[in-house]
Structure 1
Amino acid sequence: MSNLYGDFNQKIDYVFKVVLIGDSAVGKSQLLARFARNEFNVDSKATIGVEFQTKTLAIDQKAVKAQIWDTAGQERYRAVTSAYYRGAVGAMLVYDMTKRQSFDHMARWLEELRGHADKNIVIMLIGNKSDLGSLRAVPTEDAQEFAERENLFFMETSALEATNVETAFLTVLTDIYKIISKKTLTANTDTDSTGSSTLLKGTKIIVPGGPDSAAQKGGCCGS
């Protein structure tokens, strides 16, 4: 389905900004490191502010650059990181399945996300640290019920064992691609009031955070 491109000078067809959010110490940075570099650092320190990494993939024979933003989970950084939701077309809501409180906070994180991001953003709920099964504090059924109620994708992952990490990111990125490529196709068959093609208007959203990107106008990924 999708594979990682090597180093290449090929044109990038799409850039998708995806944010990782959730409480501190749930493993957001480890998920990113595992996906972007296939690494896991046992001595990982808390993220300060915001960091991001990129990874370029092939989806439907298109070069898609995933720009994954890792936001700090600590309360004192939340005012800073709220600006980074802007332009995001995907989000990973991450909790630690061994810490019930981190799951209970998901509703609050989701509310904040929906308050700052485009209403059609693709969201996945992730229960991380599935390798610690004996310490489970959040039943899978609870998370599935929450995800269904809020219309989210859901997956349990282990950054340590690399379980479902790539699958989770690819699921979100592929869904974003389907939505946006459909929007672009529709735009390509339309013309605006001046008679020119609206294709460019449909594709502007792939450069998140720009001053006039459609993502900031609430028109990012409508189906």
Structure 2
Amino acid sequence: MSTAKTLPAASPAKFASIGSPYFGIMLAVMAVVLILSNIGASKGVAIGPIITDGGFFLFPLAYILGDVISEVYGFKVARKAIVTSFALSVFASICYWVIIALPGFGDEYGASKQAALEGALGPVPQIVLASLLAFFAGQTINSWILVKMKARTGERTLWARIMGSSVAGEFVDTLIFCSIAASVIGITDVAMFVNYVLVGFLYKTLVEFAFVPLTSLVIGWVKKREPSYGA
């Protein structure tokens, strides 16, 4: 007589349609986080031996929001959020360029303000290019893996979906971003570049791992309040 136990079948993957205010709120926050991260990333930051940039504390939030959107609404809606955030970041970068190009006051104060704007926002277009390509590739991979895993496991093992997709998405994101943005930030040698990539990848991934319990709670909260979830 066989003593092997049969594992319970996974419940079908469920997703919600866009019809409540929750998606719009998360999309707005994701776009703002990406835009602010692009500005912060123009500043190189050295904390002891750690090399990073000024947007390091913000960017993981965009991926946490991406996990929530992918899990609740599915890949097509997550892709819409990624493309929309991408477009708004491009728009912000164009606005920076226009603001810098506009003629300012000719006095000493006006000149110092112009120099400050050029110093703070001038490098941003290259940072934006790096961030957008990295964000688009990393978030797309993150969302695709999470949804594919959900198709196989249904509502079970949410933690595994979040962690597994985060490792792949964050690695691609970090490698692309650092490769393009390093020269603008002031990273000039191989050792600094390797430090920058490893610190960025490990930091963002570990932050996402640390927030898995909170991310899971948020996902559960949104699922319960989305009338169309699983309908």
TM-score (norm 2): 0.27
Higher RCO by CA contacts (8 Å cutoff, separation 6 or greater): 2
Structure having the higher Rg: 2
**Going by fraction, where is strand more abundant, 1 or 2?**
1
TM-score (norm 1): 0.27
